[in-house]
Chain A
């Protein structure tokens, strides 16, 4: 672990991503000219390390020959969503222990007066001590150290293995939290002590408290997991430090990751977006809307100039905010398993109910009885019946079509096939609407973007969605099903910093701004220097969160350098605001809310041209064709050629309608679409006129 590993183009890098169903591995062997090894093994839910090791085994590649392993894990994500958390105690300012249970006075949905909420830490494990800091940072009541000791002991006796110290206004003056942590450390048997200000030094006690509580509650779990994996890997001959994917889309040494465990909670979706940005940049598409459709939900993110949008305000579920910089992935509650029905008004509705993975769509043969979007794809010939029906107990296409007729067609006067067509069209339309709200509706011109489709079902719907959204192009990567693992392989090391300024631009001290940004840069560089991997280069980017004085929402404005004048700030903001809202407000002053910096340790370029083995490519399009089958588009059947994606000649030009099948994804070209392949094996589809 002492030697500093310098990943060069000639090294062997393995990315391993654990998903809900499968653990995906992508190994690129730089020593063999970028030869690619891929493995897909079932995820082992109880201990993800087993799945990781079996994926490594499945490649046949000697583990001791791997130079670097980068790993994306859902250990913490699952722990939070399933509330399988470490027993955690919280000590707060007297009078404020309920903050994380009260929330910000909300309800789960606008209409309907029901709903439930379970706080991350139960009330009996939340204790209070005397101490109070004012908003200015002035101490009003000193920390009662005896009470603090007492509270720590009580929580220890109650069986807690992790501790949160969350005091009011600790972002303004962290002295009490620091002292309290010292006292706790004297008694606490392990290092699992999280202070509120350390992770997020910003006002808003609920958001900061929940962020800290999530961090503490997953820390022991992540630590155990990392330790298990380290042992497993060492047993196979990999003794180096490995890296773990963070929610900001950067990787961090497994030795440091647990300190800020909360940052790994959204890392799965982030790595997919990182892979998209990387792939898109190589393909010449800097502006992307990423679209990862799964069974129950769909993840969407926006990439501009090859940079994924980052947000400090992610909410992972109702009243569960994690306010640390993370790739802004929006989850839309519709996926392949979304159920279609006819409502009391005789109209077809899609979702929000989902058949999920169990029982899943009808065609999975696990007892699903309600028609879903995936079933519609099957009925319409978009999904190959042979491939899908092999999964479990076979259900015939006729039977699925019959269910569409029965459940949808009967009341709407449609045949089974027409009903499936309607479900698909409406599903795409709804999904497009939700995607528009979180992407192109925010002042971006859709014509400047391409849709990057991945995940099992993304490429199946991509052309229809692009049409609906007005995006002229779709990019389907070579290996849509292992995009997250690719994200691990290509991710950089990254650290993000936020400082709240909250001052009108006119009264800013330019030198102080510069000092803040310089400090960010220095801290980030120091952190990257500690990593086991030496970067090729260090890239530093700065941005400002701004608003007009009096507003509460912010707009993120990229800064050209760390030396920005007040005039430049004002100008950049006004430009960004006009682009978003088409509104000019010369009468109102601008306000600088936050300064942000991200420091990236750039890793060497990785060659993606062999993701699809060049040797397997056919000489002509004809040779790559598997069959011709009828597929339903816009109300009629079209005889559609079906190609084996990995056999397509690299220079092939494909006219829609066509279907491209590969191991874990199906891409649909609608009539009028044109597709071509690029050097990395991406399929680029120009959307034809509707």
Chain B
């Protein structure tokens, strides 16, 4: 440690971060899949040569990928060691999407590349991108009623997609003959590889400039210090056990809520997360694999302590007990398509609900916490072609110590923008009747929740099938410290003038629609924070004046008469 001074250490921390940020930027800009290019559903990072543990990760990566890739990288290293995977050579890039080998759902495809220095592996670079399709029973991969992973798509163990820098045409051909819209995947594959190669160039520059040994030392020291920083953040929390629950509406197959039970124990400078008592593995796709469960805890903690850099060290003081025997630690062949988009957000909600008791100044009431996936697949007779349309939508954020919650915020685990109505109407035979702030949906509180979104889509031509993978239909996002829950998600389908509400409320697959039929969605409002009766009457009056609540709602939800001022 003698020669590694604080300055060099600080400089290298920023330098490694910049390598990852530049990989993120390249990946998004070059990608074809709008999920990657627009929604930034991707992440890039640097991983240890020894055990795959996380060294640095891009600051604009999709939050749910925080920490996930260290598990897939670790698996690749282990499988190479015991001969289940071909040994690496310079220029090789492995591809893997197996959820049970340290993944999320099948659509999240990982590239893993060794970086060599003097003939030895110095570290690994890895990235994940959400491909728009990976085969399986429904386009896009979000089957609400799958009961085994095989129905969800093509599952790839770690195999070399690039051998010594050259794309393997055989593996590429296997992939392309198993997925939809295969012709554009070459673009995403090239983009995903280009990001790793740019990362390798930048990393080599840093190693050349500072010396491999110094960087190795710095990585170890940064890890130690990140752990220290997380411990320091945790230390201010009063010792004790903080309990919470969160509920997934159903698994999409069996119409019963799934329960997440969480006890967070704070002792000294460690937090232990215990999910004991959570529901058993489920029949439908709302299972989570271990890597996703861990990552969900990490991302929730990072929302609470955004200043702690993402690295394996930051996770050390977070002890997540393996939730064996629950739906949060699903094994082959349980279906898992809902884990990254929805279950992860319920896990984060449970963490928020526990931690807001411990850190009321820092943590918010529950946010809408759903990606709001609505897929419409059909045929447009006017253009003579099939289409698949995705609508993702935001919802209200939770109130917090300082402010009301944000309206129509993106999902807890994502940072993606929703598509404009005009672009949707250009591309698909649909017409939006309204796209509006969902009045009255923000949970009451001293600081109320933000408002959800209300939209209604009409099918203009042809026939189509609608599918929904949303959540919070049964219970709204929970309020905190006396605040009330936000409005639950609502889906109503009007077929031939008749209203149909999905039996599972927020999930259903293949609802047959004709021209003139309509889908109406209201996304959840955020949970309220603090006693609603403590809300400044002037703010209540302002909310009524702006039409956020009716006068009657305001009286019911906040009590007393709104004051004009």
Contacts and interface: CB of A to CB of B under 8 A. Distances in A.
Contacts of A32: none
B425 A134 contact: yes
A122 interface: yes
Interface of B: 6-7, 9-11, 13-15, 17-18, 21-22, 25-26, 28-32, 34, 37-38, 59-61, 63, 183-184, 186-187, 190-191, 194, 197, 222, 225-226, 228-229, 232-233, 299, 302-303, 306-308, 352, 364, 367, 392-394, 397-398, 400, 402-404, 406-410, 412, 415-418, 420-423, 425-426, 431-437, 453, 545-548
Given A96-B436, A110-B415, A585-B186, A102 B63 contact: no
A433 interface: yes
B480 to A, nearest CB: 12
Contacts of A581: 26, 29-30, 190-191, 194
A552 B406 contact: no
B10 A205 contact: no
A113 B32 contact: no
A99 B393 CA distance: 13
Contacts of A95: 432-436
B10 A348 contact: yes
A345 B436 contact: no
A522 to B, nearest CB: 29
A429 B15 contact: yes
Contacts of A109: 306
Interface string A196-207: 000000011111
18 contacts: A102-B408, A106-B410, A111-B299, A112-B306, A113-B352, A114-B364, A116-B403, A204-B422, A344-B233, A413-B6, A426-B14, A436-B18, A553-B29, A553-B30, A580-B29, A580-B30, A583-B191, A588-B184
Contacts of A112: 303, 306
B307 A343 contact: yes
Nearest to B523: A105
A319 to B, nearest CB: 10
Most buried by B among A94, A111, A132, A343: A111
A98 B453 CA distance: 10
Interface string A98-141: 11011111110111111111000011100000001011000010
A24 to B, nearest CB: 34
B14 A113 contact: no
A585 B190 contact: yes
A213 B378 CA distance: 37
Contacts of B232: 344-345
B229 A134 contact: no
Interface residues of A, number: 70
Contacts of A429: 11, 14-15
A304 to B, nearest CB: 18
Given A107-B397, A123-B437, A204-B420, 15 more contacts: A94-B434, A101-B437, A105-B410, A106-B409, A106-B410, A110-B61, A123-B547, A168-B421, A344-B232, A345-B228, A422-B7, A426-B7, A430-B14, A436-B18, A437-B22
Nearest to B428: A135
A41 interface: no
A520 interface: no
Contacts of A386: none
A347 interface: yes
Contact of B422 (A168, A343, A441): A168
A437 B25 contact: yes
B364 A552 contact: no
Decide if the interface of chain A is mainly helix, strand, loop or mixed.
Answer: loop
Contacts of B406: 107, 114-117
A124 B29 contact: no
A426 B11 contact: yes
Interface string A141-169: 00000000000000000000000000011
A425 interface: yes
Q: Which of B10, B13, B402, B423 has the most CB of A within 10 A?
A: B10
Given A107-B410, A548-B32, A548-B187, A205 B6 contact: no
Interface string A572-616: 000000001111010110000000000000000000000000000
A213 to B, nearest CB: 16
B412 to A, nearest CB: 7
A550 B131 CA distance: 13
Contacts of B13: 347
A189 interface: no
A634 to B, nearest CB: 11
B461 to A, nearest CB: 11
> 5 smallest A-B Cβ distances: which pairs?
A105-B394, A95-B434, A345-B225, A345-B229, A344-B232
A331 interface: no
A280 B225 CA distance: 45
A433 B307 CA distance: 18
Nearest to A206: B420
Contact of B11 (A117, A346, A425, A553): A425
A97 interface: yes
A75 B195 CA distance: 42
A413 B186 CA distance: 52
Contact of B437 (A98, A140, A349): A98
A4 B421 CA distance: 47
B306 A204 contact: no
B10 A553 contact: no
A5 to B, nearest CB: 43
A507 interface: no
Q: Which of A103, A107, A134 lies at the interface centre, i.e. has the most chain B CB atoms within 10 A of its CB?
A: A107
Contact of B436 (A98, A140, A587): A98
Contacts of A580: 29-30
Contacts of B352: 113
Contact of B417 (A105, A110, A114): A105
Contacts of B433: 95
Nearest to A583: B190
A169 B546 contact: no
A104 B417 contact: yes
A274 to B, nearest CB: 27
A96 B431 CA distance: 13
A621 B529 CA distance: 68
A669 to B, nearest CB: 22
A115 B190 CA distance: 36
A268 to B, nearest CB: 27
A132 B392 CA distance: 24
Contacts of A345: 225-226, 228-229, 232
Interface in A205-230: 205-207
A412 interface: yes
B390 to A, nearest CB: 13
Contacts of B37: 551-553
B425 A135 contact: yes
B407 A101 contact: yes
A293 B474 CA distance: 52
Given A347-B6, A437-B22, A96 B187 contact: no
Given A344-B232, A588-B187, A105 B393 contact: yes
B420 A441 contact: no
A343 B186 contact: no
Contact of A583 (B9, B10, B194, B394): B194
Interface string A360-404: 000000000000000000000000000000000000000000000
Given A102-B408, A103-B408, A110 B32 contact: no
Contacts of B416: 105
Most buried by B among A169, A345, A412: A345
A538 interface: no
Contact of B38 (A101, A441, A552, A582): A552
A414 interface: yes
A106 B415 contact: yes
A205 B432 CA distance: 13
Given A135-B422, A422-B6, A437-B22, A553 B435 contact: no
A141 B410 CA distance: 32
Contacts of A124: 545-547
Contacts of A430: 14
